[in-house]
Structure 1
């Protein structure tokens, strides 16, 4: 019964070439969703498609898109507007390490376009049809970083906080519509994200244990199917998210600063995708 209900449904996943995005795609394929995989990495995107298609008899479309481009969400929507999207997973993201006065504004503006503008517009464009059909699920990937100010990764932390706040508000608005929006807030996760951040740090070393992308994706996927509004995988991450309720914001900010200065490339304690 489950298979027949889902067979003709379609899911769109951003950042699908690797890491969490790829693991979400596998989970959706197992549930017989047709897939639209979006990523800037053409080679890995094609590889992901081949891997999934070898095991699952579903339709897969790949879109090679730079999600940091202005108005990219509209471009994607227009390209696939004949397809009803039943599940949307806004997963794509990247980070940048360093003092704000020294980091690249071009990279930071790209990050803001991706985390804020693209995530918001993708949600809006595909949500309209879901509400009209009174059916659909959205998963926006934020981070446990959303709960803290983040010295040395200020734009990343702030943009992930935006995703959380925005998603919580829309999830509330969607009550009674048949559509749900879930926000996933992972802590350290083994994905390509760590490579991007480490490359902007003065040291390339990993000193903390990170959750696997597969495990984090399973937790987020299960929460999305259940219609939960927020999910934070792992007890330590829940504690980290709760810290601002126990301490002053100044104290929490100081703690985050010390962690990032100590770990350098391992500031991933609050990062995910």
Structure 2
């Protein structure tokens, strides 16, 4: 069962969200943290699968995206730091209000996994699993895709921001229109090293990447041009305190033509979804169980 809910962030900003009630006895609660510019509806089938398994699930639109646009995108002051420091903590707090005293988990997609270390309440998570989350460093991408990425990041974003006051990411198939601050930081961090680490001591004055001792699993696809293995390892290294492990999925091994950066959450890839429930099941076991 799905129901609309409203999240209230620490700064008073309100976000649109959807709560998926479990259809079996409750075994835990999960926040799905979205990729850059991706609306929560994209994760509805995956969330339904998790709810049918027994998890309560919360999906949400980050500020400036989808139904969480409080003003025109051009006037939005949202940025990636606010997504991690304000929006994602509000999602976890709201889930806790609906389902207190549960085991809490997070599934991060791309940016949703990159920003967990900004969450002041991330220590409440029993574990998290990320798909397609990496440093996104342009320098580590295959040459053919690197040229495309450089054009988007270093030509399209600044020109679009200058002309329209925001980035028309939807024009090039990169999700929803992006607030200029989101696109600016995205460009800056992908041109740097360690993604958000690029802003440590600058726009990011406090964080929990080093101290977050939460078990994590990171999944990428072999045909993902953005989250390749080099970028994955670079992002994991920023999470110094996490007990992290990772795996690379080869589409043919699962009878799939492609997975890439987005298709893990598609119904065509639902045979992959038990990778998530199996990992979280490990951390639902009583003390002394196997990790």
Q: Which has the higher strand share?
A: 2
Q: TM-score scaled to structure 2, two decimals?
A: 0.34
In proportion to residue count, which structure has more helix?
A: 1
TM-score, normalised on structure 1?
Answer: 0.36
